[in-house]
Amino acid sequence: MSGGKKSWTLRYIVINATYFAVYSGIHAYASVFLLEKGFSNTLIGITLALANILSVVFQPIVAGLIDKQGKLTNRNVSLASTLLLLIGSVLLFLIRNGTVVIFLIFALIYMVQMVYQPIITAMYFEYEAAGCHIYYGLARGLGSCGFAVVSFFTGRAIGWFGVNILMILDIIFLTVALIVLYFFKKPVVDTPLPEKAEVAHNNLISFIKTYPGFMLFVMGAVCFFFAHNAINDYMIQIITPLGGNETNMGIAVSCAAFLELPSMALINKIMKKISVKNLLLISGIAFVIKHLLMLIAPNMAVVYISQAMQMFAYAVFIPAGAYFVNQTMARLDQVKGQAYINCSITLGGVFSSLVCGRLLDIKGPHFMLIVSLAVTAAGFVIAFIALKVLSTRQAPSA
């Protein structure tokens, strides 16, 4: 094997950091970008909902193809996705007018990035198994820091240069990501033949029958990310009545992302004391508290406190969810497992975009947050049942 643990970790950090730096421009500032292009809140909701629906469809399909262990590898999919994002960002920078064209391109790159996200996680477990030891928690946490740094400065940059600075930044980060991914090649290792042939459960019904507890948990997680996406996608609309602006939004978003690093970096040590299942329940409680604080926030100070709950909510859920898949599923189902965890985020985004954009237009941000909190609480109940009552570690059938 070439390269030490620090070398593999450093490169994996760059992959994560550039991905989430671009995620800031495409996701966190989606409303800011599209509002400037003349989109209404309802049309923004439709755009994001379409992108999320497409990603939910394509994530398991792409994951199933990767799980077949053919030429379509995690790295090759990552390279292709990054290239598509780069082309889309260039087009959005060049096209200044045209609602239909912007709608189609933005929905496409939003979708591609969501399909790509679980592949990065699956790539870690693939490379780790091949002897490329990586500090996953540290790398994923620093990925969030990349998101935080870019989000913090982007709020100010938009005020100085306008929203097209988002695409310029995306082009820079995607170019770096493409170069690093090109050279991020896994060493060839001899894989011993399994004593018993493994079976990949690529059919959704077969997958559900094999992992019913896991799939019920995914349903609960969808509810968590309904509210999570509502806050991320419509942050500017939430804070405007509190006296906030794009600069405050940048601070709020970056605050949450910076605080993800400690939880993610220490996840391996934390898992030695607290089981993965209990960590996922703790994250569910934190999601509820975060959204309650956002609902009752009288000013930006409480908004910042709400965002700080990210270190116990999203920051625990993401790495714990990744390890939950690795512990629960057979090797040939693990990319799909990561995809379904990510599908909980995207499905939450689907329902959030369809419902919350409309709620904003007819009822305002406060009512939207009431609905979001109720959905989050329901999600915790579902997750609790899935993790505490049902057995989620069934032996996969051959």
Read off the pLDDT of each residue in 14-27 and give the average, rounded to a whole number: 90
Mean pLDDT of the chain: 85
Q: Which domain holds residue 111?
A: 5-186+201-389
The answer, yes or no, to whether residue 152 has pLDDT greater than 70, is: yes
Q: Please give the pLDDT value at position 227.
A: 87
Q: Please give the pLDDT value at position 313.
A: 94
- How far is residue 217 from each of residues 31, 207, 305, measured CA to CA in Å? 29, 14, 27
Report pLDDT digits (tens) over 304-334: 999 999 999 999 999 999 889 888 888 788 8
Residues 6+ apart with CB under 8 A from 54: 107, 111
Tokens of residue 50, six digits: 């379409």
Structural contact between residues 281 and 337, judged by C-beta atoms closer than 8 angstroms: no
Report pLDDT digits (tens) over 326-355: 888 887 888 888 888 988 887 887 788 778
List the single range of 84-88, 154-158, 197-201, 238-242 with lowest mean pLDDT.
197-201
In a domain, 397, yes or no: no
In a domain, 395, yes or no: no
Confidence of residue 392 (pLDDT cuts 50, 70, 90): very low
Report pLDDT digits (tens) over 281-299: 999 999 999 999 999 999 9
Count of structural domains, the chain: 1
The answer, yes or no, to whether residue 391 has pLDDT greater than 60, is: no
In a domain, 109, yes or no: yes
In a domain, 396, yes or no: no
In a domain, 93, yes or no: yes
In a domain, 196, yes or no: no
Give the count of beta carbons closer than 10 Å to the beta carbon of residue 229: 24
Q: What is the dihedral of CA 102, 81, 111, 249, to 10 degrees?
A: -80
In a domain, 243, yes or no: yes
Q: Please give the pLDDT value at position 4.
A: 55
What is the CATH number for 223? 1.20.1250.20
In a domain, 195, yes or no: no
